[in-house]
């Protein structure tokens, strides 16, 4: 990587366009340390995340087939973290079959309860971890809207997941009505603060935020890269207000909502878009592999 230290380094920022991979593409790599003769600083670079949300699709056999087809297609993808989220019943088998690969497995939801107990139909975060998951999606709009999940529940789920050693992909996003009424930022701010208040600095390392405008999910209607970038930058500002500027710089913010192989490169080039949470286009190995191996500009 060619990295040019500049006057901004002491405020822990890297001006866009200064950090480049060896192939010249914009670098959003993992944390690393950079030193200059004048400043000793820790710069937070963000490694992109491409996550597939399989929702309520696929039997165990189908999940394994897709995961095994995906594995070789993304084996060289060192530029990003690759995650798939199968249904609960497939999770353990898929995780076992992917062991040793660069594809991580995520739950799609977890219980608000930390401990095991009499909670019929629920799955605790530590059980997901035990089954091989390293991540869990929390607060997806389908859970908020169809299963009445509140910010308070999302917050408890985040805390349960973190205490189980999982990384949380916490979803936020406004409906079309809310956007048209000019409330998109207020809604997203409320979801962020509602879900993530009270977390410690260490906990924040385990948080990834996914901005998924509800009007773009499964509709084929993607937010434009500029619309998404605007909200991602807003999310980073809100996160800095609620936590610290350093935590906000390190936060990975994924975009979700009709992401496809045709539109991912335009999204990923935006400075505050650190990856994608993909539904429909993640269900086929070839299409998801194209997303993982997006054209890096």
Active site residues: 140, 212
Q: Which stretch binds ligand PGA (CB under 6 A): 116-124, 128-136, 212-220, 223-231?
A: 212-220
Judged by CB under 6 A, does residue 174 bind ligand PGA?
A: no
DSSP state for residue 86 in the 8-state scheme: -
Binding-site member from 127, 136, 259, 285 for ligand PGA (CB under 6 A): 259
Q: Residue 180 phi/psi, 5° resolution? A: -65, -25
Over the window 9 to 48, marking each residue x when it contacts ligand PGA by CB under 6 A and - when it does not, the resulting string is ----------------------------------------
Asked if 210 and 254 count as a contact pair (C-beta separation under 8 A), the reply is yes
What is the C-alpha to C-alpha distance for residues 172 and 184, in angstroms, rounded to an integer?
A: 10
Alpha-carbon span 184 to 182, nearest angstrom? 6
**Which neighbouring-strand residues pair with 236?**
none
Residue sitting closest to ligand PGA (CB): 279
For the stretch 35-38, contacts whose Cβ atoms lie closer than 8 Å and that sit 24 or more positions apart, written own/partner, are 36/5, 36/9
Say whether 295 sits in a helix, a strand or coil: coil
- Asked if 139 is part of the footprint of ligand PGA (rule: CB under 6 A), the reply reads no
Interaction between residue 249 and ligand PGA (CB under 6 A): no
Contact between 138 and ligand PGA by CB under 6 A: the answer reads no
Identify the residue among 48, 53, 236, 285 touching ligand PGA (CB under 6 A): 53
By CB under 6 A, name the one of 158, 209, 277, 285 that touches ligand PGA: 277
All residues at 6 or more sequence positions from 248 whose CB lies less than 8 Å from its CB, including other chains = 236, 237, 239, 240
- CA gyration radius for the chain? 18
Quick check: 261 binds ligand PGA (CB under 6 A)?
no
| DSSP state for residue 251 in the 8-state scheme | -
Q: Is 217 in the site for ligand PGA (CB under 6 A)?
A: yes
Q: 48, 107, 275, 280: which one contacts ligand PGA (CB under 6 A)? A: 280
Asked if 138 and 155 touch (Cβ cutoff 8 Å), the reply is no
Shortest gap between Cβ of 37 and ligand PGA (angstroms)?
46
CB of 17 to ligand PGA, least distance (A): 29
Q: Which residue in the set 15, 72, 165, 218 belongs to the binding site for ligand PGA (CB under 6 A)?
A: 218
The yes or no reply on residue 256 touching ligand PGA (CB under 6 A) is yes
| Tokens encoding 250 | 């390190």
Which residues in this chain contact ligand PGA in the complex, by CB under 6 A?
53, 212, 217-218, 256-259, 277-281
């Amino acid at each position: 990587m060619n990295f040019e230290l500049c006057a901004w380094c002491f405020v822990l920022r890297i001006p866009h366009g200064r950090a480049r991979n060896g192939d010249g593409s914009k670098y959003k790599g993992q944390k690393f340390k950079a030193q200059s003769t004048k400043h000793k600083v820790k710069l937070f670079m963000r490694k992109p995340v491409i996550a597939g949300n399989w929702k309520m699709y696929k039997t165990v056999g189908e999940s394994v087939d897709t995961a095994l087809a995906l594995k070789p297609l993304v084996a060289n993808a060192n530029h990003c973290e690759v995650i798939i989220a199968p249904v609960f019943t497939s999770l353990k088998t898929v995780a076992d079959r992917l062991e040793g690969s660069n594809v991580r497995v995520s739950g799609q939801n977890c219980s608000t309860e930390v401990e095991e107990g009499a909670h019929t139909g629920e799955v605790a975060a530590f059980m997901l971890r035990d089954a091989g998951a390293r991540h869990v999606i929390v607060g997806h709009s389908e859970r908020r809207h169809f299963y009445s999940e509140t910010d308070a529940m999302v917050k408890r789920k985040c805390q349960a997941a973190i205490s189980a050693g999982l990384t949380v992909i916490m979803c936020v996003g406004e409906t079309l009505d809310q956007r048209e009424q000019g409330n998109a930022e207020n809604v997203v701010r409320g979801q962020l603060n509602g879900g993530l208040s009270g977390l410690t600095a260490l906990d924040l390392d385990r948080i990834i935020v996914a901005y998924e405008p509800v009007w773009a999910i499964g509709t084929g209607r993607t937010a434009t890269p500029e619309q998404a970038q605007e909200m991602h930058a807003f999310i980073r500002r809100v996160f800095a207000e609620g936590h610290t500027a350093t935590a906000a710089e390190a936060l990975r913010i994924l975009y979700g909502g009709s992401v496809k192989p045709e539109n991912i490169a335009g999204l990923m080039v935006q400075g505050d878009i650190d990856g994608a949470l993909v539904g429909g286009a993640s269900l086929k190995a070839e299409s998801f592999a194209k997303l993982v191996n997006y054209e890096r500009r």
